[in-house]
């Protein structure tokens, strides 16, 4: 009875306690729960199979709920799940209508509770699952692609190539202020930024040597190789963050291997805008670009157009026009000088066959100045000078015929002088008036005539009735003058010849003959023609090329300005792009889904297949077990009673 | 004496060869062979080594089942001691029950303990790896224990030979 009453007392006490605790339970119940924050962090673990495709996807989810009371959180799942397991706790997780229900007991005060669960995707959902980054791992042995399962235990030159590509690119319209301060819109491919970390890929030094992880600029980052305690660890960090880094990259590992065994390597993919410690020189670069733009603008302005005053192209055009005029002037000069040259000397003219009646040579060529001078000189030398000598001889004979006093008067004859004859007649008429006529008139006149004939020949004072007077026009004086003229004509001939030589020869085509002396034009006409040819053939084309080149500089400057403007716009757009990247990164916060209003993060891990000989070792191990059992069956069983008897007998 | 030295050398060489080949036959806890040898040398020349072997294998299988249950269906370390205790207790209870059908309780316990000794460290630090590593570990432990048992038999034979 007493015992019965004790049980009754315990029941009453329990009921009383329940009544006391009832308000507390109601506060902690679902109705009174207060959830201040839900954080859902997901790690998506994908296992790659032998062909490189995803064989299995598991999501390790860490959910932290802050607040108080008891609450059931509905975690959304956009994929059908094969299984869900609470890893570290006993909280029940239920699946219903594509959502996971997780019970949290947060207690009465403000606190939090963590639940880690592992959800495995249904096999049929794997093909539907969208990964933000594609991972492709290829294995090569001695240059031949090989499946990882075939690698185990083999030796050779191993090459592992891991290709990664960010698949999240989509076009977005970015709005930002350009370098002129205007709001502009620009369409750009914006990705969700992901960094792929291939960290701690370990290679046993006993099996691998000459390990290399080379990089290629703008394609593939170089791996960091560390050799520690018998293992070589290789790590890569691959930022898939366009436009700064390519959306598609790859990493390469090469090594000489023997009896290959590889663990399952982890490839982590994290949505993040990587912050580095590099010095941000964007502002300086932007300012420099601005200056560069101004400089190109000035270059373009300086180059200008042919029609634009005070520009290079305008100046070059003027130079070209001026050179054209100079060339035309040269042409005229050459033409006129050619005419002068032909007037100075006609090389075709033959002086020997000159006909003064026709004024031409035997072939009808007319003489030029030089030939005319030659003809004139020849006339003086060959005709006038001998004629004058002849006149002088005549005058000498006439002077001797006249005679003069001093000689013995002889009987007149054909060879005696007139004076001798008059003197002889004077002797015959001596004492007669005739003697006076002879003495006073005839003899003096004959003497004066003889003297004047000498004066006519040699020059001197001419005797006249009125006295004597100087007579400059003697034959001797004329001969001397003719000789001077001839000499002068000779010099004129040489001078004209030199002028003609200086002007240069004219070819049959009427153009100056090419004469070069010491590498330079050897005549005026050729020099002028050479100059004109240089102007027309080199300087004008050169100016054209200069103009063309200058125009290209102008075009290039214009293009550079456009490029700089584009670059500046990109720079100005950089903050907008970074902002868009950060937005995308913050939005990449779930793979399966998350409770409404929850904050979340997501990271991905891809596991490569393990390459080892464990399967064969296990087979050998099983064989060893069977063998051991057979041995023990044979020798490890107790002997039968009969055998005992035999043993006892032996003993 | 000469016979004892010869057979002793044979055991030593056999054990050394077993250690050398441990990777080849998927054995990591080779030292369990020595434990098995120490445990069962007492079976004597007329002991049932075969039954002991079967018992040890059953012990390993029970340990494997317990670890798989812990890994696959129960909360993982570190805050799961109650589940470890539960599984361990249940395992030993099963082993005791099995002993009633004639199996050796010492062999089963040794098998179970050897397997737990082999994988419990892994279970506490990297339980996920047991998804692929639990069965190979069981094979390795079995090989070790059976080799130990064979060597125990050999040692008894050596003792018999020297006593004669």
Report CA B138 to chain centroid distance, whole Å: 9
d(CA A283, CA A145): 48
Please state whether A518 falls in left (phi above 0), alpha (psi between -120 and 50) or beta: left
d(CA A448, CA A418): 12
d(CA A2, CA A5): 5
d(CA A172, CA A577): 10
Contacts of B51 in chain A (CB under 8 A): 637
Question: For position A643, what pLDDT does the model report?
Answer: 54
Contacts of B23 in chain A (CB under 8 A): 617
pLDDT, one tens digit per residue, over B25-63 is 778 788 888 888 888 888 888 889 999 999 999 999 999
pLDDT band at B136 (very low <50, low <70, confident <90, very high): very high
Q: Are A638 and B52 a contacting pair at CB < 8 A?
A: no
Q: Are B23 and A614 a contacting pair at CB < 8 A?
A: no
Q: What count of other Cβ atoms lies within 10 Å of the Cβ of residue A588?
A: 20
- The fraction of chain B above a pLDDT of 90, given in percent, is 54
**Three-state SS string across A591-647, please?**
CCCCCCCCEEEEEEEEECCCECCHHHHHHHHHHHHHHHHHHHHHHCCCCCHHHHHHH
d(CA A421, CA A413): 8
Residue in chain B nearest A647 by alpha carbon: B46
Contacts of A90 in chain B (CB under 8 A): 75
Q: A158 to chain B nearest CA, in Å?
A: 23
Which structure tokens are listed for A247?
A: 């959306």
Residues in contact with A180: Cβ distance below 8 Å, sequence separation at least 6, in sequence order: none
Question: Per-domain residue ranges for chain A?
Answer: 135-187+200-278, 285-347+521-581, 352-400+441-503, 614-650
Question: For position B44, what pLDDT does the model report?
Answer: 81
d(CA A24, CA A18): 10
Return mean pLDDT, chain B: 89
Q: B20 to chain A nearest CA, in Å?
A: 13
Q: A42 to chain B nearest CA, in Å?
A: 17
Give residue for tokens 């959830």. A35
d(CA A457, CA A476): 6
- The minimal CB distance from B139 to the residues A88, A625, A629 is found for A625
- The minimal CB distance from B49 to the residues A620, A621, A632 is found for A632
Assess whether the previous peptide bond of A243 is cis (omega < 30° from 0): yes
Residues in contact with A389: Cβ distance below 8 Å, sequence separation at least 6, in sequence order: A479
Residue in chain A nearest B47 by alpha carbon: A638
Give the burial class of A239: count Cβ atoms within 10 A of its Cβ; 0-12 exposed, 13-18 middle, 19 or more buried.
buried
Contacts of B138 in chain A (CB under 8 A): none
Residue A509, CA atoms < 13 Å, CB-side half-sphere: 4
What's the pTM value of the predicted model, to 2 decimals?
0.65
Question: For position A394, what pLDDT does the model report?
Answer: 92
| Residues in chain A whose Cβ is within 8 Å of chain B | 85-90, 610, 614, 617-618, 620-625, 628-629, 631-633, 635-639, 644
Question: What is the secondary structure of A171-196 as a DSSP string?
Answer: EEEEEEE-TTS-EEEEEEEE---EEE
- In chain A (651 residues long), the average pLDDT of successive 10-residue segments reads 54 49 38 83 94 92 91 89 90 86 85 91 92 95 94 94 95 83 86 93 94 94 94 95 93 95 94 81 78 88 88 89 90 88 86 88 89 89 91 91 87 90 89 89 88 89 86 89 90 88 86 87 87 88 89 89 81 82 88 90 94 83 93 85 51 40
Q: Are A618 and B52 a contacting pair at CB < 8 A?
A: no
Contacts of B153 in chain A (CB under 8 A): 632, 635-636
A interface mutation test: which of B143, B144, B152, B160 has the most A CBs within 10 A?
A: B143
d(CA A69, CA A82): 31
Q: A267 φ, ψ to 5°?
A: -120, 110
Question: What is the secondary structure of A266-302 as a DSSP string?
Answer: EEEEEE----------HHHHHHHHHHHHHHHHHHHHH
Pick from A154, A123, A117: which is nearest to A49 by CA?
A123
Please give the interface size between A and B, counted as residue pairs whose CB atoms are below 8 Å apart: 85
Residue in chain B nearest A88 by alpha carbon: B75
- The minimal CB distance from A637 to the residues B48, B135, B149 is found for B48
Contacts of A632 in chain B (CB under 8 A): 49-50, 53, 146, 149-150, 153
d(CA A363, CA A10): 165
Assess whether the previous peptide bond of A527 is cis (omega < 30° from 0): no
| Residues in chain B whose Cβ is within 8 Å of chain A | 23-27, 46-54, 57, 72-73, 75-76, 79-80, 132, 135-136, 139-140, 142-143, 146-147, 149-150, 153
């Amino acid at each position: 009875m007493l015992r019965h009453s004790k049980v009754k007392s315990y029941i009453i006490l329990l009921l009383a306690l329940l009544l006391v605790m009832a308000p507390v339970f109601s506060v902690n119940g679902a109705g009174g729960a207060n959830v201040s924050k839900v954080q859902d962090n997901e790690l998506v673990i994908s296992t790659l199979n032998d062909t490189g495709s995803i064989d299995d996807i598991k999501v390790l989810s860490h959910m932290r709920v802050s607040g108080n009371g008891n609450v059931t959180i509905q975690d959304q799942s956009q994929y059908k799940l094969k299984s869900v397991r609470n890893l570290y706790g006993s909280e029940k997780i239920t699946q219903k209508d594509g959502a996971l229900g997780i019970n949290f007991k947060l207690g009465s005060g403000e606190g939090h509770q963590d639940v880690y669960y592992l959800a495995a995707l249904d096999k049929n959902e794997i093909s539907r699952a969208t990964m933000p980054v594609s991972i492709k791992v290829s294995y090569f042995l001695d240059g031949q692609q090989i499946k990882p399962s075939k690698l185990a235990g083999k030796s050779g030159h191993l090459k592992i190539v891991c290709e990664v590509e960010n698949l999240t690119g989509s076009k977005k319209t970015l709005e930002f202020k350009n370098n002129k301060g205007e709001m502009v819109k620009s369409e750009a491919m914006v990705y969700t930024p992901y960094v792929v970390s291939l960290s701690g890929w370990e290679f046993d030094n006993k099996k691998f040597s000459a390990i290399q992880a080379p990089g290629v600029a703008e394609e593939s980052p170089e791996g960091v190789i560390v050799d520690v305690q018998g293992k070589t660890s290789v790590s890569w960090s691959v930022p898939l963050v366009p436009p700064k880094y390519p959306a598609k990259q790859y990493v390469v590992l090469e090594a000489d291997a023997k009896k290959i065994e590889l663990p399952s390597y982890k490839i982590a993919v994290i949505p993040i805008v990587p912050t580095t410690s590099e010095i941000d020189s964007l502002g300086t670069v932007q300012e420099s670009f601005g200056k560069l733009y101004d400089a190109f603008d000035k270059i373009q302005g300086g180059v200008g157009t042919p029609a634009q005053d005070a520009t290079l192209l305008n100046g070059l055009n003027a130079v070209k026009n001026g050179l054209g005029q100079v060339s035309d002037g040269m042409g005229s000069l050459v033409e006129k000088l050619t005419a002068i040259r032909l007037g100075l000397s006609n090389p075709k003219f033959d002086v020997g066959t000159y006909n003064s009646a026709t004024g031409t040579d035997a072939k009808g060529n007319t003489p030029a100045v030089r030939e005319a001078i030659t003809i004139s000189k020849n006339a003086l030398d060959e005709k006038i000078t001998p004629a004058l000598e002849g006149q002088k001889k005549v005058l000498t004979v006439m002077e001797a015929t006249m005679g003069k006093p001093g000689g013995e008067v002889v009987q007149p004859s054909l060879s005696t002088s007139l004076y001798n004859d008059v003197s002889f007649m004077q002797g015959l008429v001596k004492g007669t008036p005739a003697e006076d006529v002879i003495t006073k008139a005839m003899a003096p006149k004959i003497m004066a005539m003889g003297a004047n004939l000498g004066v006519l020949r040699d020059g001197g004072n001419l005797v006249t009735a009125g006295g004597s007077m100087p007579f400059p026009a003697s034959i001797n004086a004329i001969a001397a003058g003719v000789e001077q003229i001839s000499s002068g004509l000779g010099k004129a001939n040489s001078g004209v010849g030199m002028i003609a030589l200086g002007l240069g020869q004219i070819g049959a085509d009427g153009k100056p003959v090419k004469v070069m002396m010491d590498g330079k034009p050897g005549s005026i006409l050729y020099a002028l023609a050479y100059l004109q040819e240089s102007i027309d053939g080199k300087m004008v084309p050169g100016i054209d090329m200069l103009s063309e080149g200058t125009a290209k500089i102008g075009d290039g400057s214009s293009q550079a300005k456009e490029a700089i403007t584009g670059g500046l716009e990109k720079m100005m757009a950089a903050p907008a792009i970074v902002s868009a990247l950060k937005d995308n990164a913050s939005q990449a916060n779930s793979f399966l889904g998350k409770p409404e209003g929850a904050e979340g993060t997501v990271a991905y891990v891809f596991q490569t297949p393990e390459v080892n000989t464990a399967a064969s070792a296990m087979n050998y191990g099983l064989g060893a077990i069977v063998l051991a059992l057979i041995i023990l069956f044979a020798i490890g069983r107790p002997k039968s009673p009969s055998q005992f008897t035999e043993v006892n007998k032996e003993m | 004496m000469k016979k004892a030295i010869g057979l002793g050398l044979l055991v030593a060489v056999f054990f050394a060869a077993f250690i050398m080949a441990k990777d080849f036959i998927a054995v990591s806890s080779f030292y369990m062979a020595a434990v098995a040898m120490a445990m069962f040398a007492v079976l004597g020349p007329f002991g049932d080594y075969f039954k002991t072997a079967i018992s040890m294998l059953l012990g390993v299988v029970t340990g494997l089942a317990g670890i798989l249950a812990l890994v696959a269906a129960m909360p993982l370390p570190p805050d799961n001691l109650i589940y470890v205790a539960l599984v361990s207790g249940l395992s030993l209870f099963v082993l005791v029950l099995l002993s009633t059908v004639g199996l050796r309780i010492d062999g089963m316990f040794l098998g179970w303990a050897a397997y737990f000794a082999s994988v419990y460290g892994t279970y506490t630090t990297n339980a996920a790896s047991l998804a692929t590593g639990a069965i190979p570990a069981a094979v390795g432990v079995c090989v070790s224990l059976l080799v130990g048992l064979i060597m125990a038999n050999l040692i008894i034979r050596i003792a018999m030979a020297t006593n004669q």
